[in-house]
Amino acid sequence: MSSTRERILTAARELIEQDSGAAPNVSAIARAVGISRQALYLHFPDRASLLLALVAHVDEHEDLQAGLAAVAAAPDAGAQIRAWAGMQSERNPRIAPLARALDRVRHEDEPVAQAWRDRTDGRMRGAVGIVERLRKEGRLHPSWTSEEAAALLWELTSFRVWDDLVNELGLAADRYVEVVTAAALAALASPVGSPADTEPARGSITA
């Protein structure tokens, strides 16, 4: 990565962290770096490409690959969920200003929405992989579809759930990991459906 490109991405992240999570415009970033807007566009042709590169830049600096490797190396699906929640617990405090900035304005700003989707799509792929392993291990109740199970796991391990539990409700980081892991495993091992679907028939014998 060129030194100017690195400076642009560093400045973009610093501006977000200094401005209570507001997503900076291209002019503000160029001023912070000490270059013209035209010079910035030589590295990033538009704001969307800059924000996508910023997400990748933060992932690289916060060693996302090491966290993903720990999830992949876990011995079973339950341990994978715990490792994934642990990764969120460790990384989220460091990326919180950027994540809040993207979340805050993504509904009104398409470049920001694109950067947000890029990150959340990656998490969904991870959720699908864990769900497939849960099913192979016989730990996913057959009443769950793979899509529903992945969606639940994706949501439980989201930044917003972490932010609410840890920062809003004061849950300790290690307790957050255990609560999310237990909730995911208990929910996915249980039947899902209407009461009529899950209640035993009258007079039937259950174990």
Report how far residue 156's alpha carbon sits from residue 63's, in angstroms, rounded to the nearest whole number.
Answer: 22
**CA 45 distance to own-chain centroid:** 26
Position 1 scores a pLDDT of: 54
pLDDT tens for each residue of the chain, 207 residues long: 569 999 999 999 888 888 755 667 899 999 999 999 999 999 999 888 888 888 888 888 888 888 889 999 999 999 999 999 999 999 999 888 888 877 877 888 787 788 778 878 888 999 999 999 999 999 999 999 999 999 999 999 999 999 999 999 999 999 999 999 999 999 999 998 754 454 444 443 333
Alpha helices in the chain (DSSP H): 3-18, 26-33, 37-43, 47-61, 64-73, 77-105, 110-136, 146-156, 159-162, 173-189, 195-198
Structure tokens at 92: 């989220």
* Nearest of 30, 48, 28 to residue 39 by alpha carbon: 30
Q: Which long-range contacts (CB under 8 A, 24 or more apart) does 93-96 make?
A: 94/62, 95/58, 95/62, 96/159, 96/163, 96/167
Position 21 scores a pLDDT of: 56
Position 20 scores a pLDDT of: 57
Q: Do 58 and 37 meet the contact criterion of CB atoms below 8 Å apart?
A: no
Burial of 174 (0-12, 13-18, 19+ CB in 10 A): exposed
